[in-house]
Amino acid sequence: MKVGFFDSGIGGLSTLHQSMKVLPEVDYYFYADTDHVPYGEKSIEEIRKLVDHAVGFLVDKGCEVIVLACNTATTAAITPLRNKYKIPVIGIEPAVKPAVAHCKDKRVMVMATPVTAKEPKLKNLILKYDLENKVDVVPMPGLVRLAQNDEFSGDRLLNYIHNALADYNLADYSQLVLGCTHFNYFKDTFAKVFPNDIEMLDGNLGVSNHLRETIINTGLVKEEELVGRGSVEYYYSDRKIEDGEELEHIKALHQRLERNLKL
């Protein structure tokens, strides 16, 4: 069985990484739209067009379930995609509910792209769960570019984070919601920047469990048929990655994500 994963770039590898643990038996097609990343500052119409193309590409490859491993694409495009395709389309959204439930007397910071931060989807989620006004949303578009450039440490990264957070008292927060899949690469840095033992939440495990349940509950595959190990193919926009050096780069990104899983 083939499952398609989509992100604007390498952020969605963090979701794929988790799904490969929860559901190792399927064949994954990972599509990163590197020709058009970042999405977080584009218009909704533009994002819809790009995501529609990428999902069409994955469906043509034979994918029977699609995971939008991108909060921005989910915000902008999940509804039209679900209207267009009969196959399940699973999205990801910032983990506001568990963060509010765990924050005790502290606050919750949600980092996201500008599109995710300003669209009604996140606002409605916060209205639903943030009954005591404990959630602050901070757009951090620069982190997407830094991740795409492999800048996971160093002065430029730290300066960007310190400037973006200059108006916030970081000691007030116990929960950090990673509302963009690219931000998983910076968990080690966030752990150092926030003075408290900050709890970082992403939706990757939830999405991966949901993916497994979806393929079983919709009858796409019977649980007993899920055996052996599947495969992964990686695509940058419409191009399959076959170059050994680039495949090594992706392997190194998986290793970074694996280390950050423990934080």
Write out the residues near ligand DGL by the rule CB under 6 A: 7-9, 11, 37-40, 70-72, 113, 116, 144, 180-182
Question: Of residues 3, 65, 165, 180, which has the active-site annotation?
Answer: 180
Question: Residue 3 or 180: which CB sits closer to ligand DGL?
Answer: 180
Question: Residue 144 or 198: which CB sits closer to ligand DGL?
Answer: 144
Which residue do the tokens 């052996």 mark? Answer: 228
For residue 237, the SS3 value is coil
Question: Residue 175 or 204: which CB sits closer to ligand DGL?
Answer: 204
Question: Residue 7 or 199: which CB sits closer to ligand DGL?
Answer: 7
Cβ within 8 Å of residue 47, ≥6 positions away: 39, 72, 73, 76, 77, 115
What is each CA distance from 213 to 59, 88, 219, in whole angstroms?
20, 11, 10
Residue 72 annotated as part of some ligand binding site? yes
Residue 39 annotated as part of some ligand binding site? yes
CB 114, min distance to ligand DGL, A:
8
Which H or E run contains 116?
Answer: helix 114-118
Q: Which two tokens stand for residue 190?
A: 């966030």
CB 237, min distance to ligand DGL, A:
13
Question: Of residues 3, 20, 66, 70, which has the active-site annotation?
Answer: 70
Q: Which amino acid is at 200?
A: M
Residue 182 annotated as part of some ligand binding site? yes
Q: Is the dihedral of CA 78, 80, 82, 84 positive or negative?
A: negative
Cα–Cα dist 261/204, whole Å: 10
Cα–Cα dist 210/214, whole Å: 6
Cβ within 8 Å of residue 147, ≥6 positions away: 9, 10, 11, 182, 183, 185, 186
Specify whether 180 is catalytic.
yes
57 touches 31 (CB < 8 A)? yes
11 touches 65 (CB < 8 A)? no
Question: Residue 25 or 152: which CB sits closer to ligand DGL?
Answer: 152
CB 201, min distance to ligand DGL, A:
14
CB 161, min distance to ligand DGL, A:
16
The region, left, alpha or beta by phi > 0 then psi within -120 to 50, assigned to residue 26 is: beta
Residue 7 annotated as part of some ligand binding site? yes
CB 152, min distance to ligand DGL, A:
15
C-alpha count within 13 angstroms, C-beta hemisphere, residue 92: 34
Residue nearest to ligand DGL (CB): 40
Residue 71 annotated as part of some ligand binding site? yes
- Binding site residue list: 7-8, 39-40, 71-72, 181-182
- Which residues make up each annotated binding site for substrate? 7-8, 39-40, 71-72, 181-182
**Catalytic positions, written as ranges:** 70, 180
